[in-house]
Amino acid sequence: MKIAIYSRKSKFTTRGDSIENQIQLCKEYVYGHFNSTDDDITIYEDEGFSGGNTDRPQFKLMMRDVKAKKFNVLICYRLDRISRNIADFSTLIEDLHENDISFVSIKEQFDTSTPMGRAMMYIASVFAQLERETIAERIRDNMLQLAKTGRWLGGTTPTGFDSQEIVYLDHNAKKRKLFKLTPIAQEIKTVKLIYEKFLELDSLTQLETFCIQNNIKTKNNKNYTRFSLRSILTNPVYATADENTYNYFIDNDYEVYADSNKFTGKKGIMAYNKTVQKKNTTNRLRDNSEWIIAVGKHPGIIRGKDWVRVQNMINKNKSKTFRKVKNSESLLSGILRCGNCGSFMRPKMGRVNKDGVQAFYYICELKEKSKREKCDIKNIKGNDLDQLVIDEIKKLSYKGSTLSRKIEKDKVSISSAKISLDAEIKEIKANIDDNDKAIANLVGSLSEGQESNATKYIIVQINELDKKNSNLKERLFELEEKRESNNIKEDNIDIVDDIIIKFANMIDTSDVIQKRNLIRSVVDKIIWDGEDINIVMFGADSRKK
């Protein structure tokens, strides 16, 4: 059974809960409850660090080892040695649970390796979940109240508007601030044109082509896509709050937080609670019934009748998507880019050749969308390009290739760095041990009742040695991180080497999907400039053909 012990102290002290005593108490617990020896115990010590956050060197190292599953049980003397922050502690427990690691706190008798300890953890998680849900409910209730005011609640303003601060006096004569949307004339002109052309063309694809051909850009100076255009066309913020929009929202089960008599045809619409927002994920739209619709403080831009008509047209055309010419045999879609404009190049079907093989070409997406007005790069034969890329990658597996030589050079460099790091780590650990012994001797001198004049000099020496150890431990943490980074680099080199060899052995006998996946496992992107092809490998230099 592999055991980890974590101890923390904000500053050096000789009192009973010093780091040394914490560790000794944890070791005694291990000897009494687990069939483990000192060889099975890993100790993480952070001295001179607060429990208010988890920005501690040894704690970070321990959490890396948690994810690597280097131990089975984590033990601490008291819960607050881990963290005084409930959110941080909850995160730790979740990480331990995900990696099947038990947690023991000696002082509170919190042991998740026992049925009672697991029950306690479950109860704690229930309360944490209840707290999160209570906060979420409170935020929603607050949002409902704010929605009735029609104010702008912050975030990225929609195209056509800026955020303006308004200062006012509340019912207690206190100064308050709110924000409202104010129109930006040039952007509003673009928004109106987008609505007009969509009503005329009845096609997002044709509207996209119109914008590209006429150099109509987003406020970030990018080409409009079908998706960005759809976002503008379906945003209620542009609609005038009138009878047409009121009936539309009611008929489609939106939550409308304003009486019908507020929909006078003068103000615009504000929509709240539209998206589900989570870290590291793309925001997604909520169901209509979860949206909160209110009358805003900004002017309406598009007549309610026209805005509702646009919604009906978009809903009717939902099944019609941009016609991407697909070819099940093409291997490079998604990684082949135009060197002229940077757009992706997509497959387009050609004729069946004399051998009965379906020929196809890769064509620039912007070239096709703009009808050659924005890009006129030459198409490239897809069948020939796919085979060329396969042949070039296979060459990398040969001994003496550029990649092979680079891999050997990197291995030698990493091996040399590891020897140097190991030597310095060994030396630092020895220095830390020597300082610990010196501190222990000085503490022993204090306990023997030295005269007062000597005492203050001994304490100064202890503090100096403790400060040296803190610096040494920080350096040790940096070196161990470098060593871990080198280990990862070494593993990655072996993986790349292995992948290239497997690619060469498997590619010719694989089906289309397998070939596509094999190519993506080693190729970052491929660029066609009209004359040459650049194959950009993951972590390697470009190869021009």
Are 152 and 237 a contacting pair, CB within 8 Å? no
Structure tokens at 407: 């891999």
- Among 14-28, 107-121, 379-393, 454-468, the range scoring the smallest mean pLDDT is 107-121
Question: Taking 70 as the threshold, does the pLDDT of residue 319 lie above it?
Answer: no
Mean pLDDT of 522-536: 89
Give the pLDDT score at 284. 77
Residue in the structure block whose two tokens are 């949206």: 291
Q: How far apart are CA 212 and CA 366, in angstroms?
A: 9
Q: What percent of the chain has pLDDT over 70?
A: 85
Q: Secondary structure of 445-468 in the HEC alphabet?
A: HHHCCCCHHHHHHHHHHHHHHHHH
Give the pLDDT score at 243. 95
Closest CA to 256 of 151, 148, 152, 178: 148
Over the stretch 169-188, which tens digit does the pLDDT of each residue have? 777 778 888 888 999 999 99
DSSP-assigned letters across all residues of 402-430: HHHHHHHHHHHHHHHHHHHHHHHHHHHHH
Question: Taking 60 as the threshold, does the pLDDT of residue 450 lie above it?
Answer: no
Give the pLDDT score at 281. 57
Give the pLDDT score at 70. 93
More confident: 258 or 320:
258
Long-range Cβ contacts of 322-330 (<8 Å, 24+ apart): 322/204, 322/205, 322/208, 322/226, 323/205, 325/349, 325/363, 327/358, 327/360, 327/382, 328/512, 329/358, 329/360, 329/382, 329/383, 329/386, 329/512, 330/360, 330/362, 330/382, 330/386
Q: How far apart are CA 33 and CA 71, in angstroms?
A: 16
Over the stretch 291-314, which tens digit does the pLDDT of each residue have? 889 999 999 999 999 999 999 999
Are 202 and 315 a contacting pair, CB within 8 Å? no
Question: Taking 50 as the threshold, does the pLDDT of residue 126 lie above it?
Answer: yes
Q: Which of 128-142, 201-215, 345-359 has the highest mean pLDDT?
A: 201-215
Single-letter residue type at 519: I
Over the stretch 217-229, which tens digit does the pLDDT of each residue have? 998 898 999 899 9
Question: Taking 80 as the threshold, does the pLDDT of residue 399 lie above it?
Answer: no
Closest CA to 75 of 99, 41, 122, 120: 41
Structure tokens at 47: 């001295």
Q: What percent of the chain has pLDDT over 90?
A: 31
Residue in the structure block whose two tokens are 């914490």: 22
Mean pLDDT of 460-489: 86
Q: For all residues of the chain together, what is the average pLDDT? A: 83
Q: Could you tell me the domains of the chain?
A: 3-134 (3.40.50.1390), 161-316 (3.90.1750), 324-545 (1.10.287)
Give the pLDDT score at 16. 43
Give the pLDDT score at 527. 93
Q: How far apart are CA 13 and CA 82, in angstroms?
A: 18
Give the pLDDT score at 14. 45
Q: Which of 270-274, 334-338, 437-441 has the highest mean pLDDT?
A: 334-338
Mean pLDDT of 197-202: 92
pLDDT range class, residue 321, cuts 50, 70, 90 = very low
Residues 140, 142, 146, CA angle at the centre, nearest 5°?
115
| HSE-up (13 A, CA, CB side) for residue 497 | 15
Query: Exposed, middle or buried by CB within 10 Å (0-12, 13-18, 19+), for 330?
Result: buried
Query: What is this structure's pTM?
Result: 0.51
Q: How far apart are CA 439 and CA 341, in angstroms?
A: 67
Structure tokens at 452: 């007062």
Question: Taking 80 as the threshold, does the pLDDT of residue 12 lie above it?
Answer: no
Q: How far apart are CA 161 and CA 147, in angstroms?
A: 18
pLDDT range class, residue 86, cuts 50, 70, 90 = low
297 φ/ψ angles, rounded to the nearest 5 degrees? -95, -5
Give the pLDDT score at 46. 86
Over the stretch 145-177, which tens digit does the pLDDT of each residue have? 776 678 888 778 999 999 988 887 777 778 888
Mean pLDDT of 129-139: 64
Are 45 and 67 a contacting pair, CB within 8 Å? no
- Among 382-396, 427-441, 448-462, the range scoring the smallest mean pLDDT is 448-462
Q: How far apart are CA 105 and CA 109, in angstroms?
A: 6
Question: Taking 60 as the threshold, does the pLDDT of residue 274 lie above it?
Answer: yes
Question: Taking 80 as the threshold, does the pLDDT of residue 237 lie above it?
Answer: yes
Residue in the structure block whose two tokens are 């943490």: 477
Question: Taking 50 as the threshold, does the pLDDT of residue 100 lie above it?
Answer: yes
Mean pLDDT of 513-527: 86
Angle between helices 243-251 and 304-316 (to 10 degrees): 40
Over the stretch 29-75, which tens digit does the pLDDT of each residue have? 998 888 888 899 999 988 877 766 778 889 999 999 999 999 999 99
